[in-house]
Amino acid sequence: MPLARGAVPCFLSQQRPWPHGHRLRRPLRQALREQVNEANVTPSTVHWVVTILLVVHPAACVFTFLASCFSVPKIHWRMTRGRIIRPQGWRRRCTPGKLYRACMIELSFTESIACPRPDVFSILTGFERYLAQWAKGPISAMKIGHGPTGAGTRFLVTAKVGPFRVRSPYEVAVWEPPERFGGRGVAGPVRFEEEYRLTASDNSTGLTQSIKAWPRGPFRFFRPLIERQLRGLIAADLDRLKQLAEGSK
């Protein structure tokens, strides 16, 4: 017999906060409660859903647990008259700001190039002509739109990852030739923001690159590995940029 609207099966109608051992199933239970409240569901249907998610496919339970650690605040919920409400005095344990700072990778590199500053700036910002020559991964870059390059200009960068080709957007955020250049974009599972500062000295240019990167999705668990790879990749890119600028004099 179908349940009346607002009725909840006994295994979903707990009135007290669940113990810590039930955190693994909490997102599933919450989703089931919302479905039960919105439509008439027979007990057999609810039991089949629980069986499929928690028994036949235990990986779904692990996935929801990992997702809850990074996207769902750890809050105890309870049912009142068929509705899910927050208890009084609740407090978030994981705020978006804390998660934002915890997942961020911040790096800085400095390189001295024996080349005038305007020439270094033109090579650095000449995506369509020079990017594939000094950056590892990109094989081409295409400018979106017309007009001179400046803040707000967008590029479509094509990179080769194994046998595949991946297109990623890149947007210029800072444009102050020949002193500063910056932009934001996406490289695979990483979203990043970077800024280059060029300082002139005796017949050479000091280039400082600052980058902030945020791994996305499950790649947040591999933050130390991604940071180590970024360090080696950026250092190698700046070295190739140095060789390209000094060889073009």
Q: Which domains does the chain have, with CATH numbers?
A: 10-93 (no CATH), 99-247 (3.30.530.20)
Mean pLDDT, residues 194-212 taken together: 94
- Lowest average pLDDT, out of 23-32, 50-59, 153-162, 206-215, goes to 50-59
The pLDDT score that the predictor gives to residue 154 is 97
The pLDDT score that the predictor gives to residue 227 is 95
90-148 pLDDT, tens digit per residue, is 444 444 455 556 689 999 999 999 999 999 999 999 999 999 999 999 999 999 999 89
- Lowest average pLDDT, out of 37-51, 104-118, 138-152, 200-214, goes to 37-51
Return the percent helix, strand and coil in the chain, to nearest 5.
Answer: 40, 30, 30
Residue linked to tokens 């070295």: 239
Q: Quick check: 187 and 135 in contact, CB under 8 A? A: no
The pLDDT score that the predictor gives to residue 72 is 37
172-181 pLDDT, tens digit per residue, is 999 999 999 9
Percentage of the chain lying above the pLDDT 70 cut: 59
151-171 pLDDT, tens digit per residue, is 999 999 999 888 889 999 999
Mean pLDDT, residues 225-244 taken together: 95
3-state secondary structure 91-121: CCCCCHHHHHHHHCEEEEEEEEECCCHHHHH
Question: Is the predicted pLDDT of residue 41 greater than 80, yes or no?
Answer: no
Q: pLDDT band at residue 26, thresholds of 50, 70 and 90?
A: low
Give yes or no for a cis peptide into 87 (omega within 30° of 0): no
The pLDDT score that the predictor gives to residue 71 is 40
CA 237 to chain CA centroid, Å, is 22
The pLDDT score that the predictor gives to residue 202 is 83
